[in-house]
Amino acid sequence: MAKYWASSGVDLHLELDPAPGRRRAVEDALRAAVRDGRLPPGTRLPSTRALAAGLGLARGTVSAAYDQLAEEGYLTTRPGSGTEVADALPPAPAPIGSPAAAGPPRPIGSPAAAGPQPVHDLRPGQPDVSAFPARAWVRATRHVLAAAPADVFGPCDPRGRIELRTALAGYLGRTRGVRTTPDRIVVTTGFVQSLNLLAEALGEGPFAMEDPGHDFYREVLRRAGRAIVPLAVDEQGARTGDLTSGVAAAVLTPAHQYPTGVPLAPARRRLLRAWGGPVIEDDYDGEFRYDRRPVGALQGMAPDQVVYCGTTSESLSPALRLGWMALPPALVGPVAEAKLHADAHTGVLGQLVLARLVDVHDYDRHVRAARLRYRRRRELLLARLGPGPAAPLPGARLPGVTAGLRALLLLPPSGPAESAVLAACERRGIALRGLSPLRQTPGPGGLLIGYAAPSERAFPAALDALADALTWATAERSAINAENPDNSGVPG
């Protein structure tokens, strides 16, 4: 019969199988609790006397079990500090006949490797989380907890706390040219939730989305029951003149089109006003323009037509789950109702801490520092991969304005193919994105290279690895063309 133990000092739940013997039963139960995460690293265990008394066993039996697990690396025992779960656990034994039992795992980058962590993380859309302003966040959290009124810990307006909505109205007005008021802002958990709420609140019909554009957001809207109409993009941004009356809304990235990097031309902005339908403006990285002042938000031109969406995902961290919408008056009620039934409201403490960061300008200081840091990285990327006699991929182009947290490298028509370059990157442990999945209609291949995620120290090595992958893919393609002269100039 299984035995259980708990004490008022250190609560613990163990199930002992008496079949293998008492000491072995204690070992197996503790080992299983550590392995499945019920006893995480650093957990302090009860004394051998207390555990033995609770289980009705001899103290020597429990002491022997502790000693065995310490030898195996599951526990650590320090004189005067008791026994704790080890910080680094020994590898779990692999089942006989499994690939792991046959030998060491394949190296990172191997096509057969199952989900390895990249050596060089150049995925787009990710900030340098090592530069998160932790001290400022802690200061703001302490202030909020000390000064917060009692109602902070009660139900929240589905639109969000008034403190954050007020801070955002001022900040967005002075930095992005957004024309709004606190009562027209709804706080969300990010752009994905904003899209879902708008899909529910807006009238029937398909959504127009840029082509190429963010494939994940297309899937979000499809899952919300919306059909997608491709809206072609050229060197002037989305072709807004192609919008028709049957479209329920147009989702655009006008300040810095994702992924081509071009801003929406003034004439295309005016065509949106003439179209007259709802516009969802994704200002995902509008604060990061490096060659001049950022382009003002589209919403400032038509606040009664454009829904302005922003988040902290690229400015601070995606882990915070904080986003916002500045809405036309007619949409505030329907969106707030949809938010109420989606999750009631966004987490309050994070809202108040962000409001404090904005109010005391710590948020501005962090964005300015990040802007300088990311500008230096972009310059390094252009110098390493841009056109010139030492370019690792001759004929490749880096279009778009100098902005954002990623660059688009368009591959030359003569190759190498996008798939070949991605394979070369994978073999070197480089994580980035190809352009093809972002297209709704076929077009030239390319790479989306994020330059924000690596730390300052790791970024140069990541660029070197990428340049090596491009050089290797170019040489391989040249060799194929030399062997098959009739196929040269045709990507494969």
pLDDT number for residue 64: 87
Q: Which amino acid is at 194?
A: S
pLDDT greater than 80 at residue 113: no
The predicted model gives 309-324 an average pLDDT of 97
**What's the CA gap between 17 and 21, in Å, rounded?**
8
- Between helices 348-359 and 162-176, what is the axis angle to 10°? 40
Distance CA 156, CA 326 (A): 18
Alpha-carbon span 478 to 484, nearest angstrom:
10
* pLDDT greater than 90 at residue 112: no
Q: Measuring CA to CA, which residue among 445, 449, 444 is closest to residue 433?
A: 449
pLDDT in tens, 465-486: 999 999 999 888 766 666 666 6
Q: What is the DSSP letter of 403?
A: B
* DSSP label of 183: G
pLDDT confidence of residue 92:
60
Q: What is the pLDDT of residues 16-53, one digit of tens each?
A: 877 778 888 898 889 888 888 888 888 888 888 888 88
Q: What domains are defined for the chain? A: 1-94 (1.10.10.10), 131-365 (3.40.640.10), 370-487 (3.90.1150.10)
Q: What is the C-alpha to C-alpha distance for residues 341 and 344, in angstroms, rounded to an integer?
A: 6
Identify the three-state secondary structure at position 428: coil
- The CA radius of gyration of the chain, in Å to the nearest whole number, is 28
Calculate what percentage of the chain has a pLDDT beyond 70.
89
Q: How far apart, in Å, are the Cα atoms of 258 and each of 38, 351, 438, 459? A: 43, 27, 9, 22
Predicted confidence at residue 2, as pLDDT, reads 46
Supply angle C-alpha 113, 103, 85, rounded to 5.
85
Cβ-proximal residues to 31 (8 Å cutoff; 6+ apart), any chain: 69, 72, 74
Q: Percent of the chain, pLDDT > 90?
A: 68
Averaged pLDDT of the chain:
89
- In the predicted structure, residue 130 carries a pLDDT above the cut 80: yes
This prediction has a pTM of: 0.78
pLDDT in tens, 408-458: 999 999 889 999 999 999 999 999 999 999 999 999 999 999 999 999 999
292 pLDDT above the threshold of 80? yes
239-285 confidence digits (pLDDT tens): 999 999 999 999 999 999 999 999 999 999 999 999 999 999 999 99
Is residue 98 pLDDT above 70, yes or no?
no
